[in-house]
Amino acid sequence: MSKLKTENLTRRFLGLVAVNNVSFSMEEGEILGIIGPNGAGKTTFINLISGIIMPSEGLIEYKGQDITYIPAHERARMGIARTYQLIHPLENLTLIENVMVGSIFAKGNGLKEARRRAEALCQELGLTGLDRDTSRLTILEIKKMEIARALANEPEVLFLDEVMAGLNADETKDIIAMVQKIAQERHLAVGVVEHVMGVIRELTHRVIVLEAGELIAEGKYEDVSKNPRVIEAYLGGGAA
């Protein structure tokens, strides 16, 4: 049984079909790349899976259970976590408190236990100065905090929406290694959206390619990157 799968998942915004009839599945321990030109529907796809928006049509199944219309906070409790392309730190909470939120509400831990777990997570990701305001963090620290916040849910499925954007080469390497280690140790299924193909090549076991909301290719990065339709989508793609 797949960890997560969708069938004919579709989401329309007025006239625009942002996600069009997408069927895919993800297995435990797998790092899946989700690529495609700007506006292809990658973020919308993650929004649908995490329950931030509801689909127009189709089905989402998590560990064999239909979760298509389950609210986002319940999916977080069931084990689906994500980060945001547009970072959303909780600016009136400190770094450690930001990380505690998921532990408190997605896992139902008390404040003391949540703090203990959040501290352990921060240590694992190399975050220090835990009582700082989020306005005092560097971009790398913010990105790590966003990953820590998602991991605080103790998820089984994790989506990372362009976490490496804005980072330099060394920082990117740092995060790639971190994601690999996290995924392996926790047996996570990870979905990674990135525009830098080097990152996708290095990090993922398999990729799916979206274009104008449709899934146009699927397979190992090496094969998919030679697919004429994919090359066409990237070269001829409107926004990118």
Enumerate binding residues for ligand ATP (CB under 6 A): 13, 16, 18, 36, 38-44, 85
Q: How far apart are CA 76 and CA 138, in angstroms?
A: 27
**Among 8, 38, 66, 73, contact with other proteins (rule: CB under 8 A):** 73
- As to burial, measured by CB atoms within 10 angstroms (0-12 exposed, 13-18 middle, 19+ buried), residue 24 is buried
Q: How far apart are CA 74 and CA 80, in angstroms?
A: 9
**Among 121, 149, 194, 212, contact with other proteins (rule: CB under 8 A):** 149
Residue 155 corresponds to which amino acid?
Answer: P
Q: Which is nearer to other proteins, 73 or 220 (CB)?
A: 73
Rounded to a whole number of angstroms, the minimum distance from the CB of residue 232 to other proteins is 30
Both tokens of 190, joined, read 């990870």
Phi, psi of 42 (to 5 degrees): -65, -50
Rounded to a whole number of angstroms, the minimum distance from the CB of residue 136 to ligand ATP is 27
Q: Which H helix or E strand runs over 164? A: none
Residue 69 corresponds to which amino acid?
Answer: Y
| 11 contacts other proteins (rule: CB under 8 A) | no
Rounded to a whole number of angstroms, the minimum distance from the CB of residue 55 to other proteins is 17
Q: Which is nearer to other proteins, 136 or 181 (CB)?
A: 136
Report the residue count for the chain: 240
Q: Which positions lie near other proteins, rule CB under 8 A?
A: 50-52, 71-74, 76-77, 81-82, 84, 86-93, 97, 100-102, 104-107, 110-111, 133, 135-139, 142, 149-150, 152-153, 165-166
